[in-house]
């Protein structure tokens, strides 16, 4: 901007501040705290605007300021000072607190500025971000379609040398020199995650070269890229986390030795029908495996034989009729196991001999059963049972350590479960409880039985069992016990909604 435009621009900002302040003061008593606060804020803002204007007139083109107008009445405005001009689209998005027709470059600027602004106090009127060395963000996750052109310049707002973890998601294309340039500047980088959506374009050799020049973990996510060839990813020297979703893999053959570094593998919703006996035999370091949401009908008893370090296993939403529990004998470190078969409550029960299931470290188990099994050989912290037709709950007495319990009753269940206070008296560690009724079409029937659950609350009071209803709405009845939710349960609840990937964040 030339000098006239600079004077006009910052003069307009001063006028906006004066006008809004007068409007807010119109019905405000002169001796009220709000009156004094608004005038003080106006003085601070106008002073900051004039200071930036004077610096710009002195040929300091590395400083720029713009206004954000919060909805809160007690906040007059926020004046943001940066080391470069910010586009009107980004300013509008920051004011709306959401992306608004931004290109890839603007999306990065928007996210970085939003993170930096959110770090500051809500009551700050002037936020000076002009010194990028002071603008520190250690972890970044940004959705951006195309990483190309001059996009690296968008990161000049922050101190790139402090970034430890960078995730670029929803990618459709990556320009090699731009990625290499950015990674070379991230001297503290410990983890790089690239997530591709619908299109997959990645130079494997480039990634290998980047990893050789800098020691960081590389994670790859591929979503909705049809007929993806998973074996081609073996050309990458080292992948720490690999996620391929909704990409029609159909059949899984042996993953060769190049995949030995993979610790977290998620292959859900890929229409996989067959998994060969040696598919995972080379993945001895694997910690988490998610092959849920596929068309798998059987598992070889030696499928997990080499997975000595496996802790998380999701087989949810497949069509497996029966599992030989010997296939879990090798997974002695398993903590999380989801065996909820099929998608509906019809005839999708998975046959498992729970009496022979012996997993000493197992904490979380999700299953589909007609009735709650005894599970004498397991000491669980969290149990989820779907497809229940038997209303009896007495088998819960064998799981006195339970912290979380989810019971989902089948559409064939016409009555609420019987509440035995002695059962819940034994569950003294419980902090999360859900009763859910799927496919009950008679809403009035549910409403009429509210008293059953209110009785449970009254019984809980008598038993010094602190429990309260959060909400009761037709088919879903949920209790949240007034107790501190520990880190384990937080991980479990994250696991409930996004299985493996959320766990990786909280691990």
pLDDT at position 500 is 35
Whole-model pTM? 0.82
pLDDT at position 449 is 57
10 Å Cβ neighbour count for 170? 16
pLDDT at position 126 is 95
Query: What is the CA 139 to chain-centroid distance, rounded?
Result: 14
Closest residue by Cα to residue 245 from 278, 287, 276, 291: 291
Closest residue by Cα to residue 254 from 285, 274, 281: 281
Q: Which residues have C-beta within 8 Å of that of residue 229, sequence separation ≥ 6?
A: none
* Tokens 């909400």, residue located: 471
105: alpha, beta or left? (left if phi > 0; alpha if psi -120 to 50): alpha
Closest residue by Cα to residue 112 from 149, 77, 139, 88: 139
Q: Is 177 helix (H, G, I), strand (E, B) or coil?
A: helix
Largest CA distance in the chain: 83
Q: Is 12 helix (H, G, I), strand (E, B) or coil?
A: helix
DSSP code of residue 397: G
Closest residue by Cα to residue 314 from 265, 251, 256: 265
CB of 469 within 8 A of CB of 479?
Answer: yes
Strands (E), 444-491: 469-473, 476-480
The number of CA neighbours under 13 Å toward the Cβ of 190 is: 6
Q: Is 424 helix (H, G, I), strand (E, B) or coil?
A: helix
* Tokens 């007690």, residue located: 74
CB of 277 within 8 A of CB of 300?
Answer: yes
The 3-state secondary structure of 194-249 reads EEEECCCCCCHHHHHHHHHHCCCEEEEEEECCCCCCHHHHHHCCCCCEEEEECCCC
Pairing of strands 78-82, 64-68: antiparallel
10 Å Cβ neighbour count for 101? 8
- Could you tell me where the DSSP H helices lie in 222-377? none
CB of 400 within 8 A of CB of 419?
Answer: no
DSSP code of residue 82: E
pLDDT at position 445 is 55
388 vs 370: CA distance, rounded Å: 4
Domain boundaries, the chain: 3-130, 348-507
86 vs 494: CA distance, rounded Å: 36
Strands (E), 410-456: 432-437
> 217-256: b or e for each residue (b if 16 or more CB lie within 10 Å)?
bbbbbbbbbeebebeebeebebbbbbbbbbbebeebeebe
pLDDT at position 308 is 92
Mean pLDDT (10-residue bins), the chain, 507 residues: 91 94 86 88 95 89 89 81 94 89 93 94 90 95 90 93 95 89 93 93 87 88 89 90 90 87 92 92 93 91 92 91 86 91 64 86 90 89 85 82 82 57 74 67 55 57 44 40 45 45 36
Closest residue by Cα to residue 14 from 56, 39, 51, 49: 49
CB of 45 within 8 A of CB of 79?
Answer: yes
């Amino acid at each position: 901007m030339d000098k006239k435009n600079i004077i006009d621009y910052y003069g307009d900002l001063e006028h906006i501040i004066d006008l809004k302040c007068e409007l807010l003061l119109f019905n405000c008593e002169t001796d009220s705290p709000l009156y004094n606060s608004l005038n003080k804020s106006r003085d601070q803002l106008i002073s900051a605007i004039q200071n930036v204007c004077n610096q710009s007139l002195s040929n300091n083109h590395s400083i720029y300021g713009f206004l954000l107008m919060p909805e809160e009445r007690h906040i007059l405005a926020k004046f943001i000072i940066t080391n470069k001009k910010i586009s009107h689209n980004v300013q509008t998005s920051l004011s709306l607190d959401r992306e608004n027709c931004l290109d890839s470059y603007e999306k990065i600027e928007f996210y970085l500025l939003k993170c930096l602004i959110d770090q500051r106090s809500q009551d700050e009127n002037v936020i000076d971000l002009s010194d990028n060395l002071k603008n520190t963000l250690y972890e970044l996750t940004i959705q951006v379609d195309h990483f190309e052109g001059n996009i690296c310049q968008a990161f000049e707002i922050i101190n790139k040398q402090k970034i430890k973890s960078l995730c670029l998601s929803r990618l459709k294309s990556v320009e090699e020199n731009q990625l290499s340039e950015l990674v070379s500047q991230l001297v503290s980088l410990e983890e790089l995650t690239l997530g591709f959506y619908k299109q997959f374009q990645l130079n494997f050799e480039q990634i290998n070269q980047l990893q050789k020049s800098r020691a960081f973990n590389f994670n790859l996510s591929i979503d909705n890229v049809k007929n993806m060839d998973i074996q081609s990813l073996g050309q990458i020297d080292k992948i720490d986390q690999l996620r391929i979703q909704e990409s029609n893999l159909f059949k899984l053959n042996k993953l060769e030795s190049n995949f030995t570094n993979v610790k977290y593998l998620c292959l859900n919703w890929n229409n996989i029908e067959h998994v060969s006996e040696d598919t995972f035999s080379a993945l001895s370091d694997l910690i988490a495996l998610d092959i849920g949401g596929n068309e798998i009908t059987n598992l070889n008893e030696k499928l997990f034989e080499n997975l000595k370090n496996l802790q998380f296993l999701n087989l949810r939403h497949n069509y497996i009729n029966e599992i030989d529990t010997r296939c879990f004998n090798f997974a002695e470190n398993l903590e999380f196991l989801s065996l909820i078969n099929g998608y509906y409550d019809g005839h999708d029960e998975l046959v498992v001999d729970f009496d022979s299931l012996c997993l000493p470290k197992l904490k979380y188990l999700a299953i589909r059963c007609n009735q709650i099994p005894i599970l004498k050989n397991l000491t669980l912290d969290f149990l989820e049972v779907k497809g229940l037709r038997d209303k009896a709950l007495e088998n819960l007495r064998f799981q006195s350590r339970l912290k979380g319990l989810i019971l989902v009753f089948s559409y064939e269940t016409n009555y609420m479960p019987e509440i035995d206070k002695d059962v819940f008296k034994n569950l003294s560690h419980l902090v999360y409880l859900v009763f859910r009724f799927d496919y009950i079409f008679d809403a009035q029937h549910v409403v009429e039985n509210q008293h059953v659950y209110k009785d449970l609350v009254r019984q809980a009071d008598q038993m010094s069992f602190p429990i309260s209803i959060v909400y009761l709405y037709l088919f879903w009845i949920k209790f949240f016990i007034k107790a501190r939710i520990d880190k384990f349960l937080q991980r479990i609840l994250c696991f409930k909604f996004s299985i493996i990937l959320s766990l990786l964040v909280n691990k």
